[in-house]
């Protein structure tokens, strides 16, 4: 690591952004906004598009030649915002050139491709990070803290809804379009010893689009708890809610409610067993209903993408795995592939690859 002449600040990390479509300009903007990075290149097969993104006065070089970036010793890191089918080739070339890599979700087009990237980064001691942007929102960061602290008690269920009148994609179904957000959040907030074991998925194509436009995923967790995800392109209303139920409390996240995004309810059902009954006797369960207070934790305000970019810099400089590293991207791919196989087999339960 080199330092500036002031002696107290490390030099910015040279970074190149690959892809100037929908997401690439957002990455450029956030990399430029942090002193931890210096954006040197924006690469896109459509050179004119890259130039339009940068404008006439930018010091960033636009190119359609990816090899120029790989050959530039001043570039220590790349950020890839290209279609998923290109992620393996582009990210692998960057890793082999000694660059740290940030990849837009999903990590790769298949689980096996994702595993190859993880193994390559491990061999070379490089950072491989997945851009699971939602995980860097103040709300999700707080949910992770609450779930992992045990404040909710033993995890019983997770229920997530992500529906809207959305753009029907031409190359992927609604699961691969919307569910990666919810699956990445699920993976992010769960304790390290809780994993997805199996998935059952059901979907429908009522408009004849040639792919599922409505889907429901049911995920079995290693503790016996259950997670359910509903994704839908056809809903006339937009809903973004997640409920995390525990033995002590239940958390509700409404991402469309700016005044109260996260609420914690001390309400639920308790089950007790009479101690005086012997093991050989039929035990009658005693059910009671708990109705306590609701608390809405205060949340800070920060752009999630900026927090993600800062985490990328911190991981590179600290030579550590980022919060959403390649393995987290691989776990999400495992759930997605299991869901796709289940969907193709009419809801058959499919084990998640490891």
Q: What pLDDT is stored for residue 292 in this prediction?
A: 79
Residue pLDDT, tens place only, 168-225: 888 899 999 999 999 999 999 999 999 999 999 999 999 999 999 999 999 999 999 9
SS3 category, 75: coil
The conformation of residue 150, written as its DSSP 8-state character, comes to: T
Pairing of strands 226-232, 155-165: parallel
Q: What is the mean pLDDT of the chain?
A: 92
Q: What pLDDT is stored for residue 192 in this prediction?
A: 93
Q: What pLDDT is stored for residue 51 in this prediction?
A: 93
Confidence bin at 109 (pLDDT 50/70/90): very high
Cα separation, 200 vs 175, in Å, equals 12
Residue pLDDT, tens place only, 19-33: 999 999 999 999 999
Length of the chain: 354
Among residues 125, 96, 123, 121, the alpha carbon closest in space to that of 107 is found at 121
pTM: 0.91
Q: What pLDDT is stored for residue 1 in this prediction?
A: 52
Cis peptide before 98 (omega within 30 of 0): no
SS3 category, 108: coil
The conformation of residue 116, written as its DSSP 8-state character, comes to: H
Q: What pLDDT is stored for residue 166 in this prediction?
A: 83
Average confidence (pLDDT) over 85-91 = 96
Phi, psi at 165, each rounded to 5° = -85, 85
Class of domain 135-302+334-351: alpha beta
Domain segments of the chain: what residues? 13-132+305-325, 135-302+334-351
Pairing of strands 13-18, 37-43: parallel
Among residues 173, 166, 172, 169, the alpha carbon closest in space to that of 202 is found at 173
Q: What pLDDT is stored for residue 313 in this prediction?
A: 98
Tokens 């300009």 -> residue: 25
Class of domain 13-132+305-325: alpha beta
Average confidence (pLDDT) over 244-257 = 96
Judge whether 64 and 40 are in contact, CB under 8 Å.
no
The residues pairing with 59 across neighbouring beta strands, listed in sequence order, are: none
Q: What pLDDT is stored for residue 281 in this prediction?
A: 47
Average confidence (pLDDT) over 57-70 = 92
In this model, does residue 285 exceed pLDDT 80? Answer: no
Confidence bin at 276 (pLDDT 50/70/90): low
């Amino acid at each position: 690591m080199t330092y500036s002449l002031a002696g107290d600040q490390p030099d910015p990390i040279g970074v190149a952004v690959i892809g100037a479509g929908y997401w690439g300009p957002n990455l450029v903007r956030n990399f430029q906004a942090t002193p931890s990075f210096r954006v040197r290149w924006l690469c896109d097969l459509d050179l004119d598009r890259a130039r339009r993104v940068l404008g006439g006065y930018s010091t960033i070089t636009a190119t359609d030649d990816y090899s120029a970036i790989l050959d530039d010793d001043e570039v220590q890191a790349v950020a890839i915002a290209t279609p998923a089918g290109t992620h393996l080739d582009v990210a692998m070339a960057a890793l082999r050139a000694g660059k740290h890599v940030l990849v837009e979700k999903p990590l790769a087009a298949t689980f096996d491709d994702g595993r190859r990237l993880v193994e390559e980064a491990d061999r070379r001691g490089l950072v491989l990070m997945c851009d699971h942007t939602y995980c860097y929102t103040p709300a999700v960061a707080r949910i992770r803290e609450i779930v992992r602290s045990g404040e909710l008690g033993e995890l019983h269920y997770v229920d997530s809804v992500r529906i809207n009148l959305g753009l029907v994609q031409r190359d992927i179904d609604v699961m691969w379009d919307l569910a990666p957000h919810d699956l990445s959040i699920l993976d992010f907030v769960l304790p390290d010893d809780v994993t997805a074991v199996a998935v059952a998925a059901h979907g429908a194509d009522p408009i004849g689009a040639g792919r599922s436009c409505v889907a429901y995923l049911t995920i079995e967790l290693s503790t016996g708890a259950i997670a359910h995800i509903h994704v839908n392109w056809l809903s006339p209303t937009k809903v973004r809610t997640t409920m995390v139920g525990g033995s002590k409390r239940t958390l509700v996240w409404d991402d469309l409610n700016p005044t109260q995004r996260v609420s914690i309810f001390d309400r639920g059902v308790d089950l007790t067993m009479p101690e005086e009954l012997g093991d050989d006797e039929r035990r009658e369960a005693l059910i009671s209903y708990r109705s306590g207070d609701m608390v809405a934790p205060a949340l800070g305000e920060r752009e999630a993408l900026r927090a993600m970019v800062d985490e990328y810099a911190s991981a590179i400089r600290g030579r550590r795995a980022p919060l959403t590293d390649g393995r987290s991207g691989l776990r999400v791919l495992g759930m997605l592939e299991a869901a796709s196989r289940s969907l193709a087999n009419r809801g058959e339960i499919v084990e998640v690859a490891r």
